Amino acid sequence: MSKRARTILTLLVILFLAFYARHYGQYGDYPANPPGHQEEGICPGTALTNRDTAEHLGQGGRKALVYGHGEVVKILPDDDRGIRHQRFLLKVAPGLVVLVAHNTDIAKKIGGLSAGDRLSFCGEYIWNDKGGVLHWTHHDPAGRHPDGWLSLNHTLYR
């Protein structure tokens, strides 16, 4: 095999490994999208559908990649200290309201968001006794974390 062919083959192997690590890294294989959410894209992780699931995912202070949908119940002031976040409360299920902290230094802010809006999400979930926090609802510019997103009216924010 010529030196040029070996170089090309090596580059192809490196690209394949980078792709594999990016898409199948710490969170395992990508499952199918939740029904009715094909427009958002694939989200690895667990469906966040009820409080029991939320508590189970958060045992021992673990973080978990989750997807689902919910209704905005309250818009909170943006957090403009340090890394900026758009914040709101999202009712995911009866008895489960989570704080969404959407990084607007990386992702586009959801303009015109109001109570009653229904949106879909993919992000990292951290349990607490108030319901938990959903963050990493954006892409990872460094490529070390699965991309998250928010989707409102078929518009993707990531």
12 pLDDT more than 70: no
pLDDT 10s digits, 14-25: 655 554 444 444
Question: What is the reported pLDDT for 13?
Answer: 56
Distance CA 118, CA 54 (A): 19
pLDDT 10s digits, 36-89: 443 456 788 899 999 999 999 888 888 999 999 999 999 999 999 989 999 999
- Regarding beta strands 118-126 and 96-103, do their DSSP bridges make them parallel or antiparallel, or are they unpaired? unpaired
**Residues in contact with 130: Cβ distance below 8 Å, sequence separation at least 6, in sequence order:** 97, 99
H-helix or E-strand spanning residue 51: helix 51-57
Report domain extents, the chain: 1-30, 32-157
Question: What is the reported pLDDT for 47?
Answer: 93
Q: What is the mean pLDDT of the chain?
A: 83
CATH topology of domain 32-157: OB fold (Dihydrolipoamide Acetyltransferase, E2P) (2.40.50)
What is the SS3 assignment for 28?
Answer: coil
Q: Is 29 exposed, middle or buried (0-12, 13-18, 19+ CB in 10 A)?
A: exposed
